[in-house]
Amino acid sequence: MIVGKSATGAINQTEGLQAFAESGNTANTGTWNGTGDALARIEDFVDTLDSQRGAKENLLLLGHDLSLYFDKGLTIDDRFANGGISYGAFNGSQEMAVGFGISSIYLGGYTFHKMKYDPFSYPEMLGAIGYKMKGCVIPMDSQRDAQSRASIPSLRIRYKAAEGYSREMEHWMEGGAGLDVKTNGIDQLKLNYRTERGFEGFANNRFIWINGTTS
């Protein structure tokens, strides 16, 4: 669903979000220092989306490192040193909670709702050493087919189904332990899960895959 590559053979595979978004727009951002150039990255996203008739409202899907980069770069760099942030200005409490996180960003008519996505941080996936600082800008709107007027989403999950039978997710148990009806004579319980599903995206020019590295 995320890193899959399209392939045909004994097992047919569909491309995941990464391959789909990369075939549209890729923000190869080079080295990010962690603070000063965060706003410049957002400006790049806005320029790209504006040239591609992108969505005005977008999801900024990020791994841990990249999410932290934006939080730091848009809240605690030097541009806020002279009164941009005020601590305890309303009730003067000695016990204060200070938030340095960004949930949404609005610039140039485009909104980006920032969200951390665990697979982008998971060490066995996109959070692996040498493969960090990944993210994706995903349009949150839907379009309409010019002829049928049917709604077309930006992305969706497709799964095998036919005549009332679906493989979106199946699960069943077997064994000789814990079941009212035993399926064999072995003292164990086996859980089975099966799904046949794939990622499907539309208008990849409205997506941006983010590649960044830290110094």
Q: Are 141 and 171 found together in one domain? A: no
Average pLDDT over residues 135-162: 89
Phi-psi region of 34 (alpha: psi -120 to 50; beta: other; left: phi over 0): left
Structure confidence at residue 138 (pLDDT): 94
Query: Is 89 contained in some domain?
Result: no
High-pLDDT (> 70) share of the chain, %: 81
Q: Are 152 and 126 found together in one domain? A: yes
Q: Are 131 and 172 found together in one domain? A: no
Vertex 138: Cα angle to 85 and 27 (nearest 5): 80
pLDDT tens-digit readout, 180-203:
999 999 999 999 999 988 899 999
Q: Are 115 and 127 found together in one domain? A: yes
The whole domain housing 71 covers 17-76+101-159+199-214
Rounded Cα–Cα distance for residues 35 and 6 (Å): 37
Say which amino acid occupies 171.
H
Q: Are 106 and 183 found together in one domain? A: no
Rounded Cα–Cα distance for residues 20 and 3 (Å): 9
Q: Are 166 and 115 found together in one domain? A: no
3-state SS assignment for residue 45: helix
Would you place residue 36 in the very low, low, confident or very high pLDDT band (cuts 50, 70, 90)?
A: low
Q: Are 205 and 153 found together in one domain? A: yes
- Beta-bridged to residue 57, according to DSSP, are 111
Q: Are 168 and 150 found together in one domain? A: no
pTM of the complete model: 0.78
Structure confidence at residue 96 (pLDDT): 60
Q: Are 141 and 210 found together in one domain? A: yes
End-to-end Cα separation, the chain, in angstroms: 30
Q: Are 117 and 62 found together in one domain? A: yes
Residues, the chain:
215
Average pLDDT over residues 34-39: 65
pLDDT tens-digit readout, 47-85:
999 999 999 999 999 888 888 888 887 776 555 555 555
- Round the average pLDDT of the chain to a whole number and report it: 82
pLDDT tens-digit readout, 96-137:
666 677 788 899 999 999 998 888 888 877 777 656 678 899
Q: How do 134-139 and 208-214 pair as beta strands?
A: antiparallel
Beta strands per DSSP E along 3-75: 26-32, 57-62
Number of domains the chain is built from: 2
